[in-house]
Amino acid sequence: MSDTVAAKNGVTTQYLARVAEDLEQNLKEQERLGTEIAVLQSQLAELEADRTVLVSLQEALGATSAPATSAPAAPEPESAPAATVVDKKNTAAPAKKARAKKPAAVPVQRARKTKTAAAKPAEPRQPSLVTLARDFLTSQTEPRSAAEIAEALAQEHPDRGIKKTVVRTTLEGLVAKNHAQRSKQGSSVFYTAPDPAEASSNGSESSE
């Protein structure tokens, strides 16, 4: 009887170990995918910002101005009584004047819009958060936590609205691409720039 109980306990222990291992592997996979998604979202935000600048330049050059359209003239009847012809001339005169004035106002508005867009200078492209984080790690001689890096970048770029969670995700993306190193001290995680030899090897691989 005791042998049966021991066998059951051994099988249960094996299943528990396997489930724990699968759970840990599942969590790691979720973290990896979350990091990749965050990096892709950051790249998408950069592309959207680039598109906004390009559209502004396109409007400034007048490439997107739509041609003016005039209202179609009403067809005249083939035959009409004399009284009807006289009334039509009297009533159609204001409409013709209105049509003659309307197209004249459209080019003025278009020219004003084009002039305003051309006078507005294009905003300089700001470096991405990935570039800022990588440059910051390169300038440091000691490991830094995500909170320290986020605080430093927020002080240097107060208009960017940099958040700690986004910085941590960006740093994990750099680690995944071997553009940064990750170390753990107790429960704290620190980041440093990659070794020069490793960075040069990564650069040569990317050039190939």
For the stretch 4-47, pLDDT in tens is 766 667 778 888 888 888 998 999 999 999 999 999 998 999 89
Q: Structure tokens of 81?
A: 């009584």
Q: Structure tokens of 129?
A: 């958060």
| Side-chain-facing half-sphere of 78: CA atoms under 13 Å | 0
Return the DSSP state at 7.
H
Share of the chain above pLDDT 90, in %: 16
CA distance 139 to 72: 67
Q: What is the pLDDT of residue 86?
A: 44
The predicted-structure confidence for 157-193, as pLDDT tens digits, reads as follows: 888 888 888 998 999 899 998 889 889 888 889 999 9
Residue 109's pLDDT band, with cuts at 50, 70 and 90, is low
Residue type, 94: P
